[in-house]
Amino acid sequence: MTSVRFSRLVQAALIYAILLITAFAVLVPIFWIVMSSLNPGKTLLSTTFFPDRLSLEHYEYLFTKTDFPRWFRNTLKVATGNMLLSTFLVITSAYAFSRFRFPGRRSGLLAMLILQMFPGFMGMVAIYVLLLHVGLLDTLWGLILVYAGGAVPYGTWLAKGYLDGIPRSIEEAAFLDGASHTQVFFHVTLPLTFPILTFVALTNFIGPWMDFILARIVLRSTANKTLALGLFEMVTGRGNTEFTTFAAGAVIIALPITLLSFFLQRFLIEGLTAGANKT
Amino acid sequence: MHVAASSASRPVRLHARRAAVLSVLGMGFGQMYNGQFAKGAVLFAGELAALVLGWAPFRHAMWGLVTLGETPQIRQGGRIVVAGDHSIFLLIEGLLALFVFALFLLLYAGNVWDAYRTGALRDEGRRPPTLREEIRIFLDRGYPFLLLAVPVLFVLFTIVLPLVFGVLIAFTNYSSPYHLPPRSLVNWVGLETFRNLFQLSTWSRTFWGILWWNVVWATLATLSTYFLGLGYAVLLGSKVVRGKRFWRTLYILPWAFPQFVSLLIFRNFLNQQFGPLNRFLVSVGLPSIPWLSDPFWAKVSVLLVNLWLGFPYWMMLMSGVLTGIDRELYEAAAVDGARGWQAFRHVTLPLVFRATGPLLIMSFAFNFNNFNVIYLLTSGGPANPNYSFAGHTDILISWIYKLTLEQSQFNMASAVSLLIFLFVAGISLVNFRNTRAFREEELA
């Protein structure tokens, strides 16, 4: 009997060892970047895990001497714009596909299905040339429009799936009472779709904070940079002389987004899986 | 009246046919024949306006699409003497004109269909609807089209048009240094770009080399995160572990952390000379490892960092799947003498695979084009002298990015995009055929 208990003990010890090592591996890079941002030195070489002295000078430098505030404003604008536009586009198209039967519906859905499989930057060359042609290259609006268009196919399927699950009887009752399509849409359906609406809005708000490639294609000038572009340039080229400033910027962006994703994790995972695995 | 009454008894669609034929001849003629003069006049005016105003631009657009311009730019002493044709703008204009033309054709077809239907009503002895009635009908039945108008426009211009444009570019010679507008013209070259890709040794060596690594990368990146995630889900599900919530919350951190930030952090964390990882290795007497500067280690690095980034997603997902498995299945397995590994192998794994199969394939497709992990961590490096414009860790999508933004090899980038497009579309379609979302709509 003791050997059984002993082997149980060993097993438990092993499991806890794995858990601790993993926790360490997960936390070290994050801890390191926080420490680096508080480290008085400037370069990668001078940063240590446990600096002798902590200082907020890099944060101050970030806000007073670099374009960081401007990048932040730009990103905020793009994120907000994309959130509003994408949500509007997604919900109108999902509502149409879910509630109406019209010629071209099935082929439309199939087209959306195929289109959602491609990353937005697949037509990179074309987007670049198109925006150049219509004078929207290097503008925040150009970026918002491209993001919003890209959000439609996946979002439509997602929101349509959700809408399909809402019984239509309430809407039909409203129709019998003489409500118009628009009234029904705004007063009956829209409030019911609040959960999926929030999900679409949030993912489209977070998207631009993280995206690098589309922003890089569309935005060219220093004035229009977003956070991802600005931070990328801080730590590539020029021999990493601004490493600790980058660290401060990284902490500032990571904090709100991490918290946001954290509280919404269940929601996000469900959304991610709903697209492929509806049961 | 007499005709209408008699044709109601015999299903001869006399009016319907006549109206349809007339509408084919000219928009609105059929409607006028049916007695809907106002509507017919509006339609005819529309066609007239389209012909008068649209004909010349359309011809010019088609000329541009076919020739991609004929006059090259001429400069004398740095000053532009002749502006010349801008091939790429001509291509886009041609494409837009074709889109508009397709729309016009659709409208025309609608006009014929409308005339036929109204004619059929008359054949049955009924009165064609008045304009006011028709507007009401449109607002009712056409409501989904009103809803869809804006989203569809967005999809057309930000997704479909770029894709079509991208496909077309692959059949031109739009590339640096000799075919960059506005200084010089671009020409259609048919399949030459593809021939170069497969037959010119510098291109084909790069392409096959990158493709091979791309497949290896996507497979390993997907499977490693998948199984590690599963492993941790099982581990955290075990009875021994206390504080499951605490551990789970901790391990979700890399997933919640903004990806581009963590990638840029790792880029520095793994720095060969100054990075803390190597400084630690050296301080405990181990050799420093060229994480990002050696081809082999760079590949290991992207895979490891991807593991760090990706396992929490699967862990969370798997936790959900595992809690959904019926306890009785394990009890039944135990009765048959299966414990531990055997139960896991024969009960858990099949159920997990079934629940996550489609996601696994989608994840493969995603990793196949996972630009961020590659570009932000290694920028495709270290450089590979045998490749044209690519490094050892470059995957196709990051190579395309370099070809486009850094090298202006637009035609080659488009050709490769097209190949990826076909590949990913193939995988995803097969995948979607097997999921319920697809079957419910009976789209297959």
The complex's ipTM? 0.85
Residues in chain B within 8 Å Cβ distance of A148: 154, 158
Q: What is the pLDDT of residue A104?
A: 87
Q: Which of residues 58-97 of B touch A (CB under 8 A)?
A: 88-89, 92
Per-residue model confidence (pLDDT) at position B3: 47
Nearest-by-Cβ selection for B269 from A29, A99, A265: A29
pLDDT of res. A5: 84
pLDDT, mean of residues A92-120: 86
For residue B402, the model assigns a pLDDT of 92
Helix, strand or coil for residue B80?
strand
At residue B439, the pLDDT reads 53
Q: Nearest by CB to B424, which of A117, A120, A254?
A: A117
Residue A179 pLDDT level (bands cut at 50, 70, 90):
confident
* pLDDT for residue B296: 96
Percentage above 90 pLDDT, chain A: 30
Largest CA distance in chain B: 107
For position A220, what pLDDT does the model report?
83
Architecture of the domain defined by A61-277: Orthogonal Bundle (1.10)
Q: Tens digit of pLDDT per residue, chain B (444 long)? A: 444 444 445 567 888 999 999 999 999 999 999 988 889 999 999 999 999 999 999 999 999 999 998 888 888 887 888 888 989 889 988 998 999 999 899 999 999 999 999 999 988 888 888 888 888 888 888 889 999 999 999 999 888 988 888 889 999 999 988 888 888 899 999 999 999 999 999 999 999 999 999 999 999 999 999 999 999 999 998 888 888 889 988 998 898 888 889 999 999 899 888 888 998 899 899 998 999 999 999 999 999 999 999 999 899 888 888 888 888 888 888 888 877 788 888 888 888 888 888 788 888 988 999 999 999 999 998 999 989 899 999 999 999 999 988 888 999 999 998 898 888 888 877 777 776 555 555 553
Q: How many CB atoms lie within 10 A of CB B397?
A: 24
In the predicted model, what is the mean pLDDT of chain B? 88
Q: Does the pLDDT value for residue A259 go beyond 50?
A: yes
* Residues 241 through 270 of chain B touching chain A, CB cutoff 8 Å: 241, 247, 249-262, 264-269
| B162 vs A16, A123, A181: nearest CB | A123
Chain A residues 244-273 within an 8 A CB cutoff of chain B: 246, 250, 253-254, 257-258, 261-262, 265, 269, 272-273
**How big is chain A, counted in residues?**
279
Tell me, yes or no, if A129 comes closer than 8 A to chain B by beta carbon. yes
What residues does each domain of chain A span?
1-38, 61-277
pLDDT in tens, B71-104: 888 888 878 888 889 898 899 889 989 999 998 9
Q: What are phi and psi of B439, to 5 degrees?
A: -65, -35
Whether the Cβ atoms of residue A214 and residue A143 lie closer than 8 Å to each other: yes
- How far apart are alpha carbons B261 and B267 in whole angstroms? 10
Question: DSSP class of residue A53?
Answer: S
The yes-or-no verdict on residue A273 having pLDDT over 80 is no
Distance, in Å, from the CA atom of B199 to the CA atom of B205, rounded to the nearest integer, reads 9
**A223 lies within 8 A of chain B by CB:** no
Two tokens, residue B242: 């206390």
Closest CA to B290 of B307, B280, B278: B278
Domain boundaries, chain B: 14-189, 196-442
Average pLDDT for residues A34-46, to the nearest whole number? 80
Residue in chain A nearest B233 by alpha carbon: A19
Confidence of residue A211 (pLDDT cuts 50, 70, 90): confident
| Phi, psi at A39, each rounded to 5° | -85, 130
Return the pLDDT at B71: 87
* 8-state DSSP, B128: P
Question: Residue A240 above 70 pLDDT?
Answer: no
Cβ contact A264:A202 at 8 Å: yes
User: Which helix (H) or strand (E) element contains residue B76?
Assistant: strand B74-76
Q: Which helix (H) or strand (E) holds B82?
A: strand B79-82
* Cα separation values, B424 from A88, A149, A270, A274, B428, Å: 29, 20, 24, 20, 6
Interface residue A14 vs chain B (CB under 8 A): no
Chain B interface includes A145 (CB < 8 A): yes
Task: Provide the phi-psi class of B28: left if phi over 0, else alpha when psi is between -120 and 50, else beta.
Answer: left
3-state SS, residue A169: helix
* Cβ separation A125–B165 shorter than 8 A: yes
Note whether B443 contacts A: Cβ–Cβ < 8 A: yes
CA-based torsion, A144, A147, A150, A156: positive or negative: negative
What pLDDT is recorded for position A270? 64
Between 1.10.3720.10, 3.30.70.3340, 3.30.1490.20, 3.40.50.300, what CATH number should domain B196-442 receive? 1.10.3720.10
Q: What is the pLDDT of residues B401-436, one digit of tens each?
A: 999 888 889 999 999 988 988 888 888 777 777 765
* pLDDT number for residue B8: 47
What is residue A279's predicted lDDT score, i.e. its pLDDT? 35
**Closest approach of chain B CAs to the CA of A169, in angstroms?**
18
